[in-house]
Amino acid sequence: MSADAPVFDLVVVGSGAAGLAAAVTAAHLGLSVAVVEKRSRLGGTTAWSGGWLWIPGNPLAVEAGIVEDAEAPRAYLRAELGEAHDPAMVATLLDEGPRMVEFFRRRTALDFICGTTIPDFHDRSPGAGLGGRSLCAAPFDGRALGARIADLEPPLDLGAPFGMGIASGADLRHFFDARRKLGSFLHVTKRLTRHLLDLARHGRGMTLVAGNALVARLVKSADDLGVTFLTATAARAPILARGRVVGIEIEGPAGAGRLTARRGVVLAAGGFPHDTARKARLFPHAPTGREHHSAAPEANTGDGLSIGEAAGGRVRDDLLHAGAWAPVSLVPRRDGCVGRFPHLVERAKPGLIMVRRDGRRFTDEADSYHDVMSALFAATPPGEPAEAWLVCDARFLARYGLGRVRPFPFPRRPWLRNGYLKRGRTLRELALACGIDAAGLEATVAAHDGPAREGRDPAFHRGESAYNRIQGEPDHRPNPCVAPIERAPFFAVRIVPGSLGTFAGLATDARARVLDRDGRPIPGLWAAGADMSSMMGGRYPAGGITLGPAMTFAHVAAKDAAATDPLDPEVE
């Protein structure tokens, strides 16, 4: 190795939940750790996410009195994953996941809240859970980070009014109910007042929630343990010596360089959501790679996968779905760029449908983001773009908003002017504005509205699953997800293929070690998060099945690295 190359025990590529979990675990075990982050700020996709982890049997659920048969989540995964079910990977998640949560609770600045009422996506599958398997980071006061707060990625601006993060659940419901309930009005007033004061004093919000809180707590833990952060620094290639990975080549503000890693390297760079060539190979709906619009950070271009392949690893191409699909709308920005808004919230609210250009519905709109997009792909004839429209009436738009268009009293006129939001005095007029078959849309709404007035959806059974209901409007009876679309004017936003990230990644074993093309572990190389091929095999059985395994296997990787004999950096 070069004598002037910085030397660490472990180098981690990427600063999302997986990378930070690996770094904190390794540093707690006494290793010197460097985290390399391509962007100028820390957090990756995690900082923009809801921050939920799926960890059955986690200690918070047990403390809340939710004790289930240990066989139930195993049965659920067997049913959901089918031929992709890997007993060793499942065992690691279910055995090590609760230990990971307990480690971070007891040894670091990370704390959690339990999703006691959050169900799995598919409650008809054997072993499905109705609450307690999900958890997310507890809210965090950003002032505890001190000057480091400037290095934290802010919440995704498209979904954060005035840059203020809003947590799912009760916090979000207060914002929807602010014009209807005094308690909610007071909650929102307090949140907005504090946020505006924080903007004036600190230049950003300091009440951190969801994925932003998860990243902040992990960054605080890493700082406390002396982890080194190298931001605005890209990892370019592995360094190999004596048959193992012993570092990486980097390019940062000072130019090209090298980092030596005595124990090895953990790849956690966020997958390939913006790698056009790899998308073209792995996404059937994106033959050129440009037909797909991920909501993940644009810096996630597959660097970790390329490094793994250069070291002899293999990116799996046999998953049911290569990405974590989500409905996305393209948002014009004032600077001429286009943002990508992930539609995760409003689809389950009563009074909205989703149609293709023939004007027909094709799925239960309140199902999970991944299931809705999978249904759109299946409903799209060969040769047609996989696009759809979210359609609602004036009452819905004022109450819930639609995509980037926020509820009343936020203005809608700018979004009508730039074409993001379409409007029609009648359904026919709206259809013509959108390029939707007018007769088809009128017939669809008529067929929907009759049963909807009674709270029914005989076509797609919207609102009948536990997941549908928890995402709907709890005060709306008899069905929290169903209402007629009848109050003019009518509105629509176009949906295009999108994702929250990718599933196809490097093949690993249950210790997160990257495997070569013959299935043997590559010494000194681990992968976690989206750089590790999803143990779900391209399925999406529950919210949090990205971050839950990401942090679990990152924790496992760090422990494995700590047990690895170090290589003398002077040895070529």
β-strands 255-267, 521-527: how paired? parallel
The CA distance from 451 to 455, in Å, is 6
Q: Which neighbouring-strand residues pair with 34?
A: 11, 228
Classify residue 459 as exposed, middle or buried by CB count within 10 Å of its CB (0-12, 13-18, 19+).
middle
Q: Which two tokens stand for residue 333?
A: 């920005």
Q: Residue ranges of the chain with pLDDT lower than 50?
A: 1-3, 572
Q: Angle 17-28/87-107 helices, nearest 10 degrees?
A: 70
pLDDT score at 386: 96
CA 116 – CA 472 distance, rounded (Å): 17
Q: Find the radius of gyration of the CA atoms of the chain.
A: 24
pLDDT of residue 569: 61
Question: Is the separation of the CB atoms in 250 and 260 below 8 Å?
Answer: no
pLDDT per residue over 135-151, tens digit each?
A: 999 999 999 999 999 99
Helical ranges in 143-275 per DSSP H: 170-176, 182-202, 210-224
> 295 to each of 272, 292, 399, 403, 550, how far by Cα in Å?
12, 10, 25, 13, 18
pLDDT digits (tens, 9 = 90+) for 106-130: 999 999 999 999 999 999 999 999 9
Question: What is the token pair recorded at 116?
Answer: 């006691």
CA distance 24 to 179: 43
Q: Which two tokens stand for residue 305?
A: 């996968």
